[in-house]
Each structure stands twice: as structure tokens, then as C-alpha cells.
Amino acid sequence: MNKPSLAQTAKAQLISRILGKKNSATAPPPAAIGQPRAAARVPDRYTRFDKHPGYEKMLVSKAASERFGLDNPFFHVHEGRAGATTQIDGRTYINFASYNYLGLAGHPAVDQAAKDAVDRYGTTVSASRLVAGERPLHRALEQALADVYQVEDCVVFVSGHATNVSTIGYLFGPKDLILHDSLIHNSVLMGAQLSGATRRSFAHNDLQALDALLRDIRGQYERVLIVVEGIYSMDGDMANLPALIDIKQRHQAFLMVDEAHALGVLGARGHGLHEHFGIDGQQVDIWMGTLSKTLSGCGGYIAGSRALVQHLKYAAPGFVYSVGMAPPLAAASLAALELMQQEPQRVAQLRARGKFFLQQAQAAGLNTGLAAGYSILPIILGSSLKAVRLSNQLFAHGVNVQPIIHPAVEEQAARLRFFLSSEHTEAQIVETVGLLRQLA
Ligand SMILES: Cc1ncc(COP(=O)(O)O)c(C=O)c1O
């Protein structure tokens, strides 16, 4: 053990003289120099994961579910590909719990592309593309996505969630302002938090409120980012792109659109929100999307100007310090994108099914919230308990749909959320709505 230095000893003597004078009746003798004091007891919640307050809260919810006799509706094990139907525990279910919007996950051409990529490149690129290099599939996928948005370039990340976290977290900082729709996805919130920018939300799709907020506070910040979703993941309605472009131009802000649920769904060819409104993709500064839904893979992308994309490729931590996309996943998404372009009837079919489900549900008197009749349809139940119970009852009747409960949404907004696929049949929808009418 190191001996205390002279300066340390002198300092300790001085402190003990002062303490002795001030507190001579009550003060404990000062610790010998260099000897650790007995550690104060640290509460268990700081030293044990089983005492973490978040975990304890989870256990309380679990115990309450068990008391109500509810089965856990989460983490079902699917025994094959999940599409409009799925196999769980040997039984076939009508499935509304996967994002296989255009039925391309499990399509023979998509699977074959992934297999060919494994044969040629293996299962991984092992390291960051920046240092370890890339494969032709990476650039082919990025170019195809840039073309969808009519923009200069695109970069793919290995996770959709990380795409938002890393892009927003890297590009913006403490002198900036991030304004987002109140129903924006968690990944945007995490990115905004990481950036250190001021974050403000505006009421869902209330663009007058957004405009007013910008009028009041735009001048206090350097960069301003407005973030919305093409189709909202919990509610199934969409953003008003023309009005957003007008606002962002007037206030000199950047506009970012998360197309996770809009690619493959909106527009005649499934190109998303800009195609739906007939707007040039270059009017939006940052297009973001995921490869896990319509594109049957895993990962996310940012499409926009060359400067934006080049910058992210050399600096965004989630790209620079993370492995490049696995070749079979890049190949699968590229093949799915090509099929989406070649077979627009899939997009039309999905939209027809979405509209049909909405009409049937409304005719049955169910509360479909803000659903616009596309790929996502909520049935609002107003209580987490009701949502879990109804999900379990439907499961018992051969329908797999997930409950969305607090804290993912407000308690009074607890719901079942149906994801539609172009592969669902009208008969499956009629059967499901019939069960909802009977059980809800
Ligand atoms: C709107 C939105 N953005 C981003 C993500 C994250 O994408 P991924 O699940 O591919 O990581 C999701 C996921 O569902 C989403 O709904």
C-alpha cells in the first residue's frame, strides 16, 4: 500500500483539528490516513438486478395477470413462417401479428436470394463496412432504396431502431430543437434524448400546433428537426406531407419521415407517403425506414442528399462502430424490393384488405380509433386487462393478435392491434370481426 504523502498527512491533521474544534463532543475519531472507512450500506436496488425497481414493477404486473387467470400473450413460438396464417403449438392460426405486409417474407424468390448470398458471401461481413469493406449487395440495396425516394443516396444500418437513435443522436446537439408528433416511435425519442437537443412534442397530427410552436421558439435554436411517421404504427393513420413541407420551409427546419409502416403500403407502387401525395421525394430532408417489415429482412435505412448519407457513413456511431448488414439479409430485402416493384397488385390487394377490415369493424360497432384503412388497424378497448383478455380469447378461437397495453400506450387507449397482409382473405377478416363482435 502507498504511504500517505506529507501534503496528505498535513491536510488530514488540519481537517481533524477543525473537526475536533467544531464537533469535539460528537465527532467520531478521524479515520487513519490511507485506511478505508467502513462502506455505508448501499441499498439493494443499486446492487441487484432482481431488486431493480423496473423489474419489481414488472413482477407486480405479472402477479396481477396470474391472479386474473390470464395467460401470457407474448413470446408465442411460431413453428414456421408467419404470414396471414401461422402455426403455434401444432395449431394453425389466422395471424395478425406480423408485419409481412406484402406477403414477401417467405416468398421463394426472397428465400432463394438469401440462400445464394450465403453461398457466395457467407452469413456475415464480420465488421464495420468502413474498415472491413462491403459487398455489392449493400450498394445495390442502397441505390434501389434511393431510387424509391428519388433522392441522391441511401445508407443501411443493421437495426431500424438503431437507425433512428444513431442518426438523430449524431446529427443534432444541445443547441438544436427536435419537434415530433406525440405518437412518434420510441426510437426517435431515444435518438432525441441521445442528441441532447431540446425535445418538444405536438399533439398527434396537429400541424397548427406545430406551426405555432415554431413561430414561438424557432429563433432560440440553431438546427430544427421535425419528425413524423408515414403511417403511425399504433393507430394506422398518416401524416399530412404537403402541409408539413410548407411548415418546414417557412420555418427553415429539417423534415424527417419514418416510413417503417408506409413503404409497400402507400402509393400505387408502394413507394410510400410521397407517392401517395404525388410529391417529389427530394422535398423531404431525411427519409427513414426499416427493412424488417415489407422488405422481409432486418435493419433500417436513411435516404436523402449525398452529403447527408456520406456524413452518416463516416460518422454515425451505429454505422461506423457496428457490423455491416449480413449478406443474406441485404439480398432478401433487395429481392423483396424488386418484387414490390414488379408486382404492384400486392400493394393494391393489401389496401383492399385494409379497407375491407375497417368497413367490417366499423359496421360491427367496434372502436377503430384513427385507422385510415391501410396496413394497421387498432381496436380500442380502453383497458389493458380487457386487451389481454380479448387477445387470449381470440387465440383460443384460432386468431393470433397482440394486445398493446400500458405503458406502450395510455391505459385508456389500450387496444388490440391488427397488422394486415396482402395475403389475408376476406373470409379470414369476416371470421375475425365476427369473433370480435361476439367477444369484445
Ligand atoms: C415507426 C417505427 N420506426 C422504427 C422502428 C424500428 O424498426 P425495427 O423493428 O426494424 O428495428 C419501428 C418498429 O416497429 C417502427 O414501428
In a domain, 168, yes or no: yes
DSSP states of 138-167 = HHHHHHHHHHHHT-SEEEEES-HHHHHHHH
> How far is 259 from 247, CA to CA, in rounded Å?
19
Residue with cell 402455426: 87
Q: What was the pLDDT predicted at 3?
A: 41
Cell matching residue 122: 457467407
Residues 363 and 267 in one domain: no
Rounded to the nearest angstrom, the gap between the alpha carbon of residue 198 and the centroid of all alpha carbons in its chain is 21
Question: What does residue 81 show for φ and ψ, rounded to 5 degrees?
Answer: -75, 140
> What pLDDT sits at residue 275?
98
Cα(136) to ligand 1 centroid in Å equals 26
Evaluate whether residue 417 is within a structural domain: yes
Name the domain boundary from 342, 367, 391. Answer: 342
Distance, in Å, from the CA atom of 180 to the CA atom of 347, rounded to the nearest integer, reads 28
Q: Does some domain include residue 336?
A: yes
Three-state DSSP at 346 gives helix
Alpha carbon nearest to ligand 1 atom 15, residue: 260
pLDDT at position 35: 63
Do 149 and 289 sit in the same domain of this protein?
Answer: yes
Q: Is residue 27 part of a domain?
A: no
Strand, coil or helix: 413? helix
In a domain, 37, yes or no: no
Q: Is the CB of 271 under 6 A from ligand 1?
A: no
In 259-347, the DSSP E strands lie at 286-290, 300-304
**Which of 325, 342, 359 is the C-terminal boundary of a domain?**
342
330 and 373 co-located in one domain:
no
Residue 119 lies in a domain: yes
Instruction: Supply the CATH number for residue 398's domain.
Output: 3.90.1150.10
Cβ–ligand 1 distance for 161 under 6 Å, the answer: yes
Identify the DSSP state of 81: -
Of the residues 308, 325, 342, the one at which a domain ends:
342
Q: Which three cell numbers stand for residue 323?
A: 457490423
Residues 185 and 334 in one domain: yes
Residue 381, domain extent: 68-98+344-439
| pLDDT tens digits in sequence order for the chain, 440 residues long | 344 444 454 545 544 454 444 444 444 444 455 566 677 899 999 999 999 999 999 999 888 888 888 888 889 999 999 999 999 999 999 999 999 999 999 999 999 999 999 999 999 999 999 999 999 999 999 999 999 999 999 999 999 999 999 999 999 999 999 999 999 999 999 999 999 999 999 999 999 999 999 999 999 999 999 999 999 999 999 999 999 999 999 999 999 999 999 999 999 999 999 999 999 999 999 999 999 999 999 999 999 999 999 999 999 999 999 999 999 999 999 999 999 999 999 999 999 999 999 999 999 999 999 999 999 999 999 999 999 999 999 999 999 999 999 888 899 999 999 999 999 999 999 999 999 999 99
Q: Is 185 in the pocket of ligand 1 (CB under 6 A)?
A: yes
Verify that 145 and 264 share a domain, yes or no. yes
Q: Cis peptide leading into 317, omega within 30 of 0?
A: no
165 lines ligand 1 (CB under 6 A): no
What stretches of 248-382 adopt beta strand conformation (E)?
A: 254-258, 286-290, 300-304, 376-380
278: left (phi over 0), alpha (psi -120 to 50) or beta: left
Domain count across the chain: 2
Annotated catalytic residues are 233, 261, 293
- Specify whether 88 is located in the same domain as 126: no
- Tell me the best of 290, 325, 375 to mutate to test the pocket of ligand 1, counting ligand atoms within 8 Å of each CB and taking the most: 290
Closest CA to 15 of 4, 2, 30, 28: 30
Q: For residue 310, is it within any domain?
A: yes
Alpha-carbon Rg of the chain, whole angstroms?
27
Residue pair 329/114 in contact by the 8 Å Cβ criterion: yes
Please give the distance, rounded to the nearest whole angstrom, from the Cα atom of residue 291 to the centre of ligand 1.
9
Dihedral, 49, 51, 53, 59 alpha carbons, nearest 10: 100
Determine if ligand 1 sits within 6 Å of the CB of residue 159: yes
DSSP string, 40-62: PPPPGGGT-GGG-HHHHHHHHHH
Q: What is the CATH number of the domain that holds 278?
A: 3.40.640.10
Query: What DSSP designation does 78 have?
Result: B
Let me know if residue 6 belongs to a domain. no
Any ligand 1 atom below 6 A from CB of 290: yes
- Both 288 and 396 in one domain: the answer is no
Q: Read off the pTM.
A: 0.90
Give, for ligand 1, the residue of 180, 185, 188, 325 to mutate: max count of ligand atoms closer than 8 Å to Cβ. Answer: 185
Q: Are residues 395 and 282 in the same domain?
A: no
Torsion-angle region of residue 24: left (phi > 0), alpha (psi -120 to 50) or beta? alpha
Return the ligand 1 atom nearest residue 299 CA: 10
- Residues 113 and 213 grouped into a single domain: yes
For residue 229, what is the enclosing H or E element?
strand 224-229
CA of 234 to the centre of ligand 1 (A): 11
Interatomic CA distance for residues 24 and 17, integer angstroms: 9
Asked if residue 246 and residue 190 are part of one domain, the reply reads yes
On whether both 242 and 303 belong to a single domain, the answer is yes
Q: Are residues 338 and 369 in the same domain?
A: no
